[in-house]
Amino acid sequence: MRAHDAEVSTDALNDILFILVMFFLIVSTLANPNVIKVTQPKSKADTKAKQSVVVSIDANKQYYVGSDKVTIDQLKAALIPVLAKENGEPTIVINSDKTVPIDYAVAVMRIARELNARTVLSVDNK
């Protein structure tokens, strides 16, 4: 008598792998670290800075530290614990909508100077 070889059917494996790859591609495009939607000013230069924290100012002139909404009075208190974790010179990236007056970004810069942090204005380099 001849022994039967055991076989595993892999016919559906290609379909499953294709679906998984498509799923992860779609999900990865949805994951954006800057969850506050702002339209950034344009720039021709491309400078990258190590980000300690992102402060966003949306079109409604509301401040966010990361994704947490804060007022200008609460901004300094919200930044202190985040910047304390950093080694070296901490950097605050200002992610401001282009329709927001520059005074709002300057207010963040003043607070950053009080906290001995560097500021970088995030722009769209297109």
| Whole-number Å distance between alpha carbons of 52 and 48 | 13
- pLDDT at residue 20 in the model: 92
- CB 76 within 8 Å of CB 111: yes
pLDDT tens digit sequence for 87-100? 778 888 888 888 88
Domain 53-121 has CATH 3.30.420.270: yes
pLDDT tens for 9-55 read 777 888 899 999 998 888 777 665 556 666 666 656 555 545 578 88
pLDDT per position as a tens digit, 114-126: 988 888 887 765 5
Report the pLDDT value the prediction gives residue 21, as an integer from 0 to 100.
93
Asked if 32 and 67 touch (Cβ cutoff 8 Å), the reply is no
Q: Give the least confident one: 27-41, 56-70, 71-85.
A: 27-41
Q: Where do the structural domains in the chain lie, given as residue ranges?
A: 53-121
Q: Is the pLDDT of residue 62 over 80?
A: yes
Interacting residues of 41 by C-beta distance below 8 A, sequence separation 6+: 96, 98, 121, 123, 124
- Count helices and strands in the chain by DSSP H and E runs: 3, 5
The answer to whether 73 and 61 are in contact (CB under 8 A) is: no
